[in-house]
Amino acid sequence: MNRRKFIILTGVGATSAGVLSACRHPEEKLIPALIPDDEYVPGVDYWKASTCGMCDAGCGIIVRTREHRANKIEGNPLHPVNRGALCARGQAGLQLLYNPDRIRGPMRRTGERGAGEFEEITWDEAIKSLVDKLREIREQKGANTVAFATKKKDGVTGIAAEIFASAFVPSGLRMHLLAEGLDGDAESGPEIYNRFVTPIFDIANATYLISFGARFLETWHSPVRYSLAYGEFRNARGKARGKFVHIEPRMSMTAANADEWLPARTGTEGLIALAMAQVIIREGLRKDATEPKFLSEPLENYAPEKIADEADIPAEKIIRIAHEFASAERPLAIGSSRPVAHGRENMTAINYLNLLLGNVNKPGGVVLPAVDDFDPLDHVSGEHRIDSLQEHLLSKEGIGDAFSALLIHQSNPVYKTPRGAEGIRKIPFIASFSSFMDETTSLADLILPDHTYLESWDISATLIDEKRVAVTVNRPIEKPELNTRQTADVLIAISREIGGADFSPAFESAEEMVRKAIEQLPGRGEETSDSIIEKGVWVGEATGKAESFKPATFQFSLLSASADSTGDYPLTLLACERAAIGVGEHSNLPLLQELPDAMTSVMWGSWVEINPKTASSLGIADGDLVEVTSSHGSVRAPAVLYPAIRPDTVALAYGQGHGAGRYAKGRGANVIELNPYLNGSLRRPDTVQVKVSKVEGEARLIRFGTMLPEHPEVKR
């Protein structure tokens, strides 16, 4: 029973009171229909359009509501990105909204930092406390010692932060925007085109697809969008069925869907791409092909015969695939900017294959939108821009000495960049806008909890093809579930207080920003703001500065690109994202925790995938507890013998090892503890050299169909 007020029917008397008491809510009443509601008819479903906020893909959603309560999420069939489809993560959004571990209202720390001792306060008290503290810091330390940390700086939160900065920071100075140092696959080769827009890959119309570690059916870019495109790529009706080759040291779900899987050594993807290019040029498979100008060595140095041993792929196989690729009607190469530290160079080599075969801005090729970006809020944003400074990453150990105050929004650097955690603890004042008591929020002095995306306003854009853009509206599906407020609205309220009587913010709320942005959409025509909000999406032509592409001018070498094995750490650890919980933002949702891994059927925890031959040499059996150690730390998890992984490689998924939330606490290990590159680098390489050994202890391994989470298989 929910806590909405109802009217009791006359004549039920003590019987009703007894029933209500049995439900533990004797104050609740029964029949809402006696008081008409202007917004809904009891028992009737209402569908409301919005945008999924479970990742950055920007899929459109429609949410079924009844009596003002959301109870089902589906894909929006009007949205060109996902066309009515939705992944499991998107379906789990309701568990974010109704999660019992959400912070219920603003709180202030009462005990030692990190002790988890807080008291509830009102919003007026929270805003006053934050304003007073910021004024004190501005007077004593300077406005430039305050930083705003967020996962991304676009959307209404970015505009609200600009408004706050204009009120707080004196003229000529800038507030700092901090990055947590855990980036995704946004950069997939635009540098070779001298463009700053993420390319669109027309998988649907390709006839030959080769993927260099791009798990586009799982977590790469927009999985729903590219899964739909892959379905069209495989559809043989009226056309030849496309061939798919995947290169990766471990068989992921994407690799399992390929016609051919090449288990190349980690970090050699770029070498294989250049080897294919060398074959295409030397054998005249493309008459107008020319050698790339971005290499420091002759392309001959990357011939298949010379790199085969390092990549551990036979030269004959590379040559055959190069012939197939070059002879295809519409070939397409895609790749991941991870998993190694030199991912930029790898991606340049991979995308060179697309330039070599001339499939840029053609069907089945790489589509470069006519504009570098399209932001519907550009027309309404102010002059004050937040400065994004890479030298002040949250992963840097000196972060505590650089700043007097840190405002945290949708970011958990203590978990994602653990080697910078001590520096964050040293920052004198921390205010968190998190919805959950995560590792960073537990260190906060003040908590001002944000709405979930199902309770918030926002607007974003996704480039659909070379000329079109989809503008997606995020609107509240229901009234706030708890005593929370949208962070953009809180920042605007703070700016009013801290700016004084003479300061007038450009907007009064996030909703006003969204509506103003919709009104200024170019080519909107007669379509009203309300109708666009109702549909959840507007599709039109992107306007902005157009750029032509040209080959890159920087130079680099890809020789010796693979990981260096040492005697102490002979194995390469490949950290990978699971389609369900990604890098851990949603590991506190039970629906995603209990979703079995597609390849191993493991759920509710971490596991180390290891080749049976390697395991045998180390005396490790399936289900044994093992310790994975790098030069920077160690973690423990049960072993899963997995034949479809290279013998010199082990794999461990991101997302587990959290310290807060009943569904995440105490489950698995945080693989980021092993990665040395996360200290002071925006890049997120997924590999590190490790050693693996069997250890004593309890190994909790839960597989789908074999046991319940309450009764896991325990191997001692």
- pLDDT score recorded for residue 64: 95
Tell me how far apart the alpha carbons of residues 270 and 559 are, in angstroms, rounded to a whole number: 10
pLDDT of 21 > 50? The answer is no
211: pLDDT strictly greater than 70: yes
Nearest partner of 665 among 674, 656, 673, judged by Cα: 656
- Note the pLDDT of residue 460: 92
DSSP string, 647-689: TTEEEEESS---SSSTTTTT-S--GGGG-GGGSS-S----EEE
Amino acid code (one letter) for 23 = C
The conformation of residue 541, written as its DSSP 8-state character, comes to E
User: Residue 135: its pLDDT value, please?
Assistant: 92
Cβ 648 vs Cβ 570: under 8 Å: yes
Averaged pLDDT, 660-672:
89
pLDDT at residue 168, rounded to an integer:
86
What mean pLDDT is predicted for residues 331-348? 79
Measure the CA–CA gap between 157 and 125, rounded to whole angstroms.
Answer: 22
Per-residue pLDDT for 478 more than 70?
A: yes
- Specify the pLDDT at position 684: 58
Question: In the chain, what percentage of residues exceed pLDDT 90?
Answer: 50
pLDDT at 395 over 60: no
2 pLDDT above the threshold of 50 = no
The overall pTM is greater than 0.85: yes
Rounded to whole angstroms, the Cα distance separating 533 from 473 reads 6
295: which DSSP letter?
B
Contacts of 464 (CB under 8 A, 6+ apart): 80, 81, 200, 470, 539
Q: Does the structure show a pLDDT above 60 at 18? A: no
Provide the pLDDT confidence category of residue 505 given band limits of 50, 70 and 90. Answer: confident
Q: In sequence order, what are the residues at sequence separation of 6 or more whose Cβ sits closer than 8 angstroms to the Cβ of residue 454?
A: 50, 53, 63, 70, 93, 94, 96, 97, 476, 477, 478
Q: How far is 569 from 688, CA to CA, in rounded Å? A: 9
User: For residue 243, which amino acid is it?
Assistant: K
Asked if 632 and 673 count as a contact pair (C-beta separation under 8 A), the reply is yes
pLDDT of residue 643: 96
pLDDT tens per residue, range 596-615: 999 999 999 999 999 999 99
Q: Can you give the pLDDT at residue 635?
A: 94
Task: State whether residue 489 is helix, strand or coil.
Answer: helix
Give the Cα separation of 704 and 716 in Å (integer): 20
Please count the helices (runs of H) and the strands (runs of E) in the chain: 19, 29
Residue 123 has φ and ψ, to the nearest 5°, of: -65, -35
Q: Model confidence at 360, in pLDDT bands (50, 70, 90)? A: confident
Q: Looking at the predicted structure, is the pLDDT value of residue 17 above 50?
A: no
pLDDT value at residue 361: 87
Residues 236-294 pLDDT 10s? 676 778 899 999 999 999 999 999 999 999 889 999 999 999 999 999 888 777 777 77
* Residue 190 confidence (pLDDT) above 80: no
Task: Check if the beta carbon of residue 640 is closer than 8 Å to that of residue 609.
Answer: yes
> CB–CB of 715/600 below 8 Å?
no
pLDDT of residue 6: 31
pLDDT of residue 116: 87
Of 52, 118, 111, 43, which Cα lies nearest the Cα of 79? Answer: 52
The larger pLDDT score, comparing residue 170 to residue 234, is at 234
Report, as an integer, the average pLDDT of 661-668: 90
Which residues on adjacent β-strands are paired with residue 431? 407, 446
pLDDT band at 678 (very low <50, low <70, confident <90, very high): low
pLDDT range class, residue 26, cuts 50, 70, 90: very low
Q: Which is higher by pLDDT, 584 or 639?
A: 639
Residue 129 clears pLDDT 90, i.e. is over it = yes
Confidence of residue 134 (pLDDT cuts 50, 70, 90): very high
State yes or no: pLDDT of 470 exceeds 70.
yes
Q: How far apart are CA 406 and CA 394, in angstroms?
A: 10
pLDDT tier, 95 (very low <50, low <70, confident <90, very high otherwise): very high
- Name the residue with higher pLDDT: 490 or 631: 490
Q: Which amino acid is at 145?
A: T
pLDDT of residue 697: 86
Residue 41 has pLDDT above 60, yes or no: yes
Mean pLDDT in the chain? 83
Q: Which residue has the tokens 């950069």?
A: 187
335-344, 422-431, 433-442, 586-595: range with lowest mean pLDDT: 335-344
Angstrom distance (rounded) from CA 438 to CA 443: 9
Cα(528)–Cα(525) distance, rounded to whole angstroms? 8
Asked if residue 553 has pLDDT above 60, the reply is: no
Residue 109 and residue 114: Cα distance in Å, rounded? 9
Q: What is the DSSP letter of 155?
A: H
Instruction: Please give the pLDDT value at position 711.
Output: 46
Give mean pLDDT, residues 41-70. Answer: 89
**pLDDT for position 564:** 59
Q: What is the pLDDT of residue 323?
A: 96
155-168 vs 487-499: helix crossing angle, rounded to 10: 10
Domains annotated on the chain, with CATH: 13-82 (no CATH), 107-176+386-450+485-520 (3.40.50.740), 200-367 (3.40.228.10), 571-715 (2.40.40.20)
Distance between CA atoms of residues 342 and 695, nearest Å = 34
